[in-house]
Amino acid sequence: MRFVMNRLKLFKISWNEIVTNRKGIIFFVGIMTLFVVWFLTIFDPTLFAEMEAVFESYPEVIKEMVGGQISIGTFGGFINTYIFEFAWMYFGIYVLMKASQDIPKEIEDKTIDIIMSKPINRWEFVIGKYLRHIGVALFLSVCTALGIILGIFAFPNINPTEINLDEVIFVVFWFYLFLVAIISTGFFFSTFLSTKKALGAGFGMLVLFFAFGSFWGAMPEAMESVKFFSIFYYFDPFDLLVNHNWGIVWLHVIILGIYSIVITIIAGFIFNKRDIPV
């Protein structure tokens, strides 16, 4: 019974957080969903196939600057290039900001005194907060999936028969785990740093991850292994959406999940040991 009550506390904390911030969440998710749908309206297979051919004529040095490969002539390649490759900017920065500032703001505003004076453990407070952010990311991912599916069947420039819907839906799930990894990174710093420092550290780590995971091919061979330390390396839907090759996709999905779990557990231990007078 106590186990069940503890779980109910966690979901109550996260649900209250979501309800309190519902207007901002709905506004952002709505804007980003419309943004995705709008992007799909500009897809023109003929035009983008010509643009892809032009890119192939560029020198190898320039190709390496954008990852060495690009495919925008097909729908899968198009959404990979224009939506998922830039997802860390469209969606990631928002969830990072929210996750990295949440707990520090409670401490700086002294509202944590009221919360911690209630019959609630620190780990319940931390996990409840964390569930709020991954819940918002789930809502964002579902709406993104619905926007893409709407575009597939609503816009005449997209041929549904040429699209593997299973792959698209799986990539959105993969994208969700990528967002959770970004959230976990920002949330980790939020458990022991101030608002500004946590945001700066989280954003700095995101940029570092991006550099390691996206430009490792341009680094000296001895340094290429840095890619394995980047969450960006484990979210690259190109091969799946363009070549329909599942390869080691599931391994990358599992690694993203393990990263989020481990760093969140560490964050919980840090916060639990932190000296916060209440």
CA distance 14 to 83: 28
Q: Which stretch of 52-61, 80-89, 101-110 has the lowest confidence by average pLDDT?
A: 52-61
Of residues 251 and 87, more confidence is placed in 251
Q: Express each pLDDT in 130-146 by its tens digit.
A: 998 999 999 999 999 99
* Statement: the pTM of the whole predicted model exceeds 0.75: yes
Q: At what angle do helices 93-108 and 195-214 cross, to 10 degrees?
A: 160
DSSP state for residue 36 in the 8-state scheme = H
The H or E element that residue 142 is part of is helix 122-154
**Residue 97 φ/ψ region, left for φ over 0, alpha for ψ in the -120 to 50 degree band, beta for the rest:** alpha
Cα gap 245→249, rounded to integer Å: 9
Asked whether the predicted pLDDT for residue 261 surpasses 50, the reply is yes
Instruction: Round to whole Å and give the CA distance between 238 and 17.
Output: 35
30 close to 148: Cβ distance less than 8 angstroms? no
Residue predicted with more confidence, 219 or 81: 81
Domain range summary for the chain, segments of one domain joined by +: 2-42+75-273
What is residue 255's predicted lDDT score, i.e. its pLDDT?
96
pLDDT band at 54 (very low <50, low <70, confident <90, very high): low
Angle between helices 165-190 and 195-214 in degrees, nearest 10: 140
pLDDT in tens, 190-207: 999 999 999 999 999 999
- Helix, strand, coil percentages (3-state) for the chain, rounded to 5, are 80, 0, 20
Whether the pLDDT of residue 257 is over 70: the answer is yes
Sequence-separated contacts (24+) of 241-245 with Cβ below 8 Å: 241/76, 241/77, 241/79, 241/80, 241/84, 241/167, 241/168, 241/171, 242/71, 242/74, 242/76, 242/77, 242/80, 244/76, 244/164, 244/167
Tell me the C-alpha distance between 264 and 130, whole Å. Answer: 8
Tokens of 82: 């224009």
Q: What value does the mean pLDDT of the chain take?
A: 84
pLDDT at residue 158 greater than cutoff 60: yes
pLDDT at 39 over 70: yes
